[in-house]
Copies of this chain bind each other. A is one copy, B any other.
Amino acid sequence: MTFPVVGMVGGGQLARMTHEAGIPLGIRFKLLSDTPQDSAAQVVGDVVVGDYRDLDTLREFARGCDVITFDHEHVPTEHLRALEADGIPVRPGPDALLYAQDKGEMRAKLTSLGVPCPRHRIVRDVADVVAFAAEGASEGASEGDGFPVILKTVRGGYDGKGVWFVRSEADAAEPFKAGVPVLAEEKVDFVRELAANVVRSPHGQAVAYPVVESQQVDGVCDTVIAPAPDLDETLAGEAQELALRVAKELGVVGHLAVELFETRGPDGKPGILVNELAMRPHNSGHWTQDGAITSQFANHVRAVLDLPLGDPRPRAPWTVMCNVLGGDFPDMYSAYLHCMARDPQLKIHMYGKDVKPGRKVGHVNTYGDDLDEVLDRARHAAGYLRGTITE
């Protein structure tokens, strides 16, 4: 059979779960992993161990792949262009990926498209930060000196890393120490965080998942509720349309996660601002594995191969995803037994990673008709696996 080969760069849990979703599709999956112990490398048949920052390694890996896609956004743009020049389809392509790699470029592009974003500016030093903050105060968006503000390195951050909550001028020097350009953003007074996830294929077909609520703890995704409870229907539609428009305008192929702030205007009217973009399967879409007709992983594979996309609709009234973070106990196996025995409907997804405190080592999905019950079950399992709940 002439079923194609998908090459995925990066051996993390997203690649692991993409491989899982690709098995029933009959596609061949090839992995470029940093080490043979990486989460995905443990379960994939065709693994190349190598450094994605090395062009020769990428070129060698790409040989025999029908398309290249990604577990993360860190492959250098010039390497992606070189692969494209070699005739290898890269999806999402470098022109789109740039906006997921560089927060400064992302803000400039979205603003040019009229997509609502927090007030932002590239800042070069502490004085710039102070001026940026003061402007917010003078516009009435904040009080006093305009602090706090958010500073972010434009590249390389994730899960709260590369992000600083800056309360005053005295805190503002730290982010500049890495020598990377820094983006200042207003501290948005949001009601909650949402995510609008869409998948787009090269020929332009696109599907939108229900908008979800995403709850963060210490800058790391903790709980996702699908769909977002009590979300204004018009706003939900606007968020989906916004994500579809961003996918189209940026030329995204594959899964696009648009992380959003839900805001409440002085008139009480709800609104949305774009927080972050991710052009790959995303933590806010893990619920789809057990809660949607077609998972984000299956649709990502279908999109990068330009296959017709699958139905993104939910299978249950409520689905909840809770991340399992490493706790103080290095061995989760007995907790895992307990959780399975306690809740035979629980869907556990382990990543095969060594447990380290705070590290994402898995997630659980629950679904059902009663949101409180579904939330309780997911939170209990995640807490028990981490060791923060012991009964």
Q: Does A70 contact B (CB under 8 A)?
A: no
Known: A44-B45, A308-B340. A362 touches B26 (CB 8 A): yes
Nearest CB on B from A102, distance (A):
33
For chain A, residues 324 to 343, give those with C-beta under 8 angstroms from any C-beta of chain B. Answer: 330-333, 336-337, 340-341
From A236-244, A309-317, A374-382, give the one contacting chain B: A309-317
Q: Does A387 contact B (CB under 8 A)?
A: no
For chain A, residues 115 to 169, give those with C-beta under 8 angstroms from any C-beta of chain B. Answer: none
Q: Does A192 contact B (CB under 8 A)?
A: no
How many interface residues does chain A have, given as a range? Answer: 35 or more
Q: Is the CB of A348 within 8 A of B25?
A: yes
Q: Is the CB of B23 within 8 A of A293?
A: no
Among A23, A29, A294, A332, which residue has the most Cβ atoms of chain B within 10 A?
A23
Among A24, A47, A332, which residue has the most Cβ atoms of chain B within 10 A?
A24
Q: Does A113 contact B (CB under 8 A)?
A: no
Q: Is the CB of B310 within 8 A of A349?
A: no
Q: Does A248 contact B (CB under 8 A)?
A: no
Q: Is the CB of A302 within 8 A of B340?
A: yes
Report the Cα distance A349→B298, complex, angstroms.
12
Known: A1-B355, A354-B1. A20 touches B24 (CB 8 A): yes
Q: Does A351 contact B (CB under 8 A)?
A: yes
Q: Does A360 contact B (CB under 8 A)?
A: no
Chain B, residue nearest A207 (CB): B344
Q: Is the CB of B45 within 8 A of A333?
A: no
Copies in the complex: 2
Nearest CB on B from A318, distance (A):
14
Residues from chain B with Cβ under 8 Å of A23 in the complex: 16-17, 19-20, 43
Q: Does A352 contact B (CB under 8 A)?
A: yes
Residues from chain B with Cβ under 8 Å of A353 in the complex: 1
Report the Cα distance A155→B265, complex, angstroms.
75
Chain B, residue nearest A205 (CB): B341
Q: Is the CB of B337 within 8 A of A1?
A: no
Known: A23-B16, A26-B362, A350-B3. A310 touches B45 (CB 8 A): no
Chain B, residue nearest A338 (CB): B308
Chain B, residue nearest A28 (CB): B42
Contact residue among B3, B20, B294 (Cβ-Cβ distance under 8 Å from A352): B3
Report the Cα distance A311→B341, complex, angstroms.
10
For chain A, residues 289 to 319, give those with C-beta under 8 angstroms from any C-beta of chain B. Answer: 289, 293-294, 302, 307-311, 315
Q: List 5 A-B contacts (CB under 8 A).
A: A1-B332, A23-B43, A26-B350, A45-B45, A308-B340
7 A-B pairs with the lowest CB-CB distances in the bound complex, closest first: A26-B350, A308-B341, A308-B340, A311-B344, A24-B349, A20-B23, A311-B345
